[in-house]
Amino acid sequence: MKQSTMNKAINEIKTTLDRINSRITEAEEQISDMEDKVVEITTAEQNKGKRMKRTEDSLRDLWDNMKRTNIRIIGVPEEEERKKGTEKIFEEIIVENFPNMGKEIVNQVQEAQRVPYRINTRRNTPRHILIKLSKIKYKESILKAAREKQQITHKGIPRRLTADLSAETLQARREWQDILKVMKEKSLQPRLLYPARISFRFDGEIKTFTDKQKLREFSTTKPALQQMLKELL
């Protein structure tokens, strides 16, 4: 009798353990399925992120390529443009400053327009003229000649010719602004060179850097400069 009771209790325990093991197995399978789904979702998100990154890079490359052949003319009053037309003003600037280039450059203009205000729409200063050329080599030829001539004029009045910079270059130039401000306060005569280099005078010499990392490395050898820029580097 006692043996029978004991066997029954043992069987009940086994049955209970089997049920528990079955539930554990089911739980493990559910956890595994959930882990698989998490992996799938994570992979999908990563792929989505990669696709977005590729799309952003493609758009950035496309935008940079569009801007790469552009030149800005700064300082031409809008009333003068309305009288003559944008392309005519560009032609006059080329003829007046670079007579050797002549019609070859003028004929490469694909588009000419005023760019919209970007900072303050109420400012009374003239907007820039944007000239889109057919090939980058023409833009480079004009900018090189402008740098060599140093001063560009239109009807004897000083104007400026500059490259139309990409978003990345503009951001790189903005990142120098705090350092430029400090250097000006310390009379280091800083300048922001094209396209995004900083130049300043230190210990009687002109120093030029293309990024903050190189400036940081140099400053470690100059304690006074390091102390001056410690909050910015």
Q: What is the pLDDT of residues 128-149, one digit of tens each?
A: 788 888 888 888 888 888 888 8
Q: What contacts 149, CB < 8 A, 6 or more positions away?
A: 97, 98
Comparing 10 with 40, the larger pLDDT belongs to 40
Cα separation, 233 vs 197, whole angstroms: 16
Q: How far apart are CA 75 and CA 205, in angstroms?
A: 33
Whether this model's pTM surpasses 0.75? no
Residue 169's pLDDT band (boundaries 50, 70, 90)?
low
pLDDT tens digits for range 22-72: 777 777 777 777 777 777 777 777 777 777 767 666 655 555 555 567 888
